[in-house]
C-alpha cells in the first residue's frame, strides 16, 4: 500500500473541498473494494476522505411514492429495513445476497454504485427500478448513470448523497453467484413500475449493467416465467472468463429472469 493521508471529513462540504483541492484523493465509506485495491497497489490515493459517519449521507425514508436511501446505508441495514422489505422487497432481497456478513455490515450502497463493478448487484436494482441518483451537484437518472466498465456519469469530486427508488408494483432479483466472491456471475432484476411499464436489468453478464429489452418485450405481452425464459439473449459482447463463457451467461439471463418473474408474481 502506498503512503496516504487519512482525513475524517466533518461535513459533506469539507469532503467536497478536499476532493477539489487534492485531485488524487479518494472517498472511503465501507472500503470493501477500495481497501483491497490499495493494499495490492492497484490504485494510489494521496488522501483517503472518510465520509461514512456523515449524517447527511444516512437514513432510509419514505418520501411520497419513493423510498430514499442515504449513500452510506449499509447492505445489512437495507436488507433488514421494514420499509424496504414492505415497499420494494426485491431490493431488500438483493441487499441480503451481497457478499458475506462482514461485507454486508461495512459495504454501502453509494460506494457500490459509484464503483460500478460489472458484477455488483445494486446497479441492476437502480436501473430496473429507474431510480434517481442524487449527488452533491445534481440528480442523475438511472439510464444515464452507468456508462461503462467501472465508469459512471459522476464528475471528478462529485459525491453520491442518496438514491431514490420509485415504489414498484412488483420487484424481484435472482442471481447466479460466484461461490468464492459471491459477486453475480449473472444477476437479473425484474420490476413492474407504478405506470405498468416493465424493466429488466442484468448485471454480471456484460462489462456494464444493461437492460434486457427482449425480455421486457416478452413480459409486456405476458408477464409469466415462460415468457421470460423464451426470450433470446445474444452472447455478443458478454463477459467470458474462467467462471463462465459468454454463451453460458447468455443462457443464464432468461433463466434467472424467469425465476425473478415467478418470485415477483
pTM for this predicted structure: 0.95
What pLDDT is stored for residue 6 in this prediction? 95
As beta bridge partners, residue 202 has 188, 210
Q: What is the mean pLDDT of residues 18-24?
A: 94
Of 52, 68, 95, the residue at which a domain comes to its end is 52
Q: What percent of the chain has pLDDT over 70?
A: 100
Helix 89-97 × helix 246-264 angle, to 10°: 140
Q: Is residue 189 part of a domain?
A: yes
What pLDDT is stored for residue 103 in this prediction? 92
209 with 129: CB under 8 angstroms? no
Terminus-to-terminus CA distance in the chain, angstroms? 48
Q: Is residue 30 part of a domain?
A: yes
Using alpha carbons only, give the angle 76, 31, 176 rounded to the nearest 5 degrees: 55
What pLDDT, in 10s, does the model give residues 176-201?
Answer: 988 777 889 999 999 999 999 999 99
In terms of Cα–Cα distance, which of 174, 160, 185, 209 is closest to 52?
160
The owner of cell 453467484 is 177
Of 36, 52, 68, the residue at which a domain comes to its end is 52
Q: Is residue 241 part of a domain?
A: yes
What pLDDT, in 10s, does the model give residues 1-15?
Answer: 889 999 999 999 999
Q: Is residue 187 part of a domain?
A: yes
Q: How far is it, in rounded angstroms, from Cα 215 to Cα 5?
A: 48
What pLDDT, in 10s, does the model give residues 85-106?
Answer: 999 999 999 999 999 999 999 9
Q: Is residue 123 part of a domain?
A: no
Q: What is the mean pLDDT of residues 23-45?
A: 89
> C-alpha grid cell for residue 54?
456523515
Is pLDDT of 171 > 90?
yes
What pLDDT, in 10s, does the model give residues 135-149?
Answer: 999 999 999 999 999
CATH number of the domain to which 217 belongs: 3.30.390.50
What pLDDT is stored for residue 180 in this prediction? 77
What pLDDT is stored for residue 42 in this prediction? 87
Domain count across the chain = 2
Q: How far is it, in rounded angstroms, from Cα 54 to Cα 66?
A: 22
71 with 57: CB under 8 angstroms? yes
What pLDDT is stored for residue 106 in this prediction? 95
Of 37, 52, 67, the residue at which a domain comes to its end is 52
What pLDDT is stored for residue 38 in this prediction? 87
Helix, strand, coil abundance in the chain, percent, nearest 5: 35, 25, 35
Q: How far is it, in rounded angstroms, from Cα 39 to Cα 255?
A: 38
Q: Is residue 81 part of a domain?
A: no
Is pLDDT of 43 > 90?
no
User: From start to end of 120-233, where are the E strands?
Assistant: 132-135, 139-141, 146-148, 151-152, 160-166, 170-177, 184-192, 198-203, 210-211
What pLDDT is stored for residue 179 in this prediction? 79
What pLDDT is stored for residue 228 in this prediction? 98
Q: Is 56 exposed, middle or buried (0-12, 13-18, 19+ CB in 10 A)?
A: middle
Model confidence band, residue 150 (pLDDT cutoffs 50, 70, 90): very high
Q: What is the mean pLDDT of residues 55-75?
A: 97
Q: How far is it, in rounded angstroms, from Cα 67 to Cα 137?
A: 20
CATH number of the domain to which 30 belongs: 3.30.43.10
Question: Containing domain of residue 45, as a range?
Answer: 1-52
Amino acid at each position: 500500500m502506498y503512503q496516504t493521508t487519512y482525513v475524517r471529513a466533518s461535513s459533506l462540504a469539507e469532503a467536497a473541498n478536499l476532493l477539489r483541492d487534492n485531485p488524487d484523493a479518494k472517498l472511503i465509506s465501507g472500503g470493501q473494494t477500495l481497501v483491497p485495491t490499495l493494499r495490492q497497489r492497484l490504485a494510489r490515493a494521496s488522501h483517503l476522505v472518510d465520509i461514512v459517519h456523515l449524517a447527511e449521507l444516512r437514513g432510509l425514508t419514505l418520501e411520497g411514492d419513493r423510498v430514499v436511501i442515504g449513500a452510506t446505508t449499509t447492505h445489512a441495514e437495507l436488507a433488514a429495513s421494514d420499509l424496504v422489505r414492505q415497499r420494494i422487497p426485491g431490493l431488500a432481497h438483493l441487499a441480503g445476497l451481497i457478499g458475506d456478513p462482514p461485507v454486508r455490515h461495512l459495504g454501502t450502497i453509494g460506494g457500490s454504485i459509484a464503483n460500478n463493478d460489472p458484477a455488483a448487484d445494486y446497479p441492476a436494482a437502480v436501473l430496473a427500478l429507474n431510480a434517481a441518483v442524487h449527488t452533491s451537484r445534481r440528480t442523475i437518472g438511472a439510464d444515464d448513470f452507468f456508462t461503462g466498465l467501472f465508469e459512471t456519469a459522476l464528475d471528478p469530486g462529485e459525491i453520491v448523497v442518496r438514491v431514490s427508488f420509485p415504489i414498484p408494483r412488483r420487484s424481484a432479483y435472482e442471481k447466479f453467484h460466484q461461490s468464492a466472491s459471491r459477486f453475480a456471475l449473472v444477476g437479473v432484476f425484474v420490476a413492474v413500475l407504478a405506470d405498468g411499464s416493465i424493466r429488466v436489468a442484468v448485471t454480471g453478464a456484460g462489462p456494464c449493467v444493461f437492460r434486457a429489452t427482449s425480455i421486457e418485450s416478452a413480459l409486456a405481452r405476458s408477464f409469466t416465467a415462460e415468457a421470460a425464459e423464451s426470450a433470446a439473449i445474444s452472447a455478443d459482447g458478454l463477459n467470458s472468463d474462467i467462471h463462465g463463457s459468454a454463451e453460458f451467461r447468455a443462457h443464464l439471463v432468461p433463466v434467472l429472469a424467469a425465476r425473478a418473474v415467478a418470485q415477483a408474481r
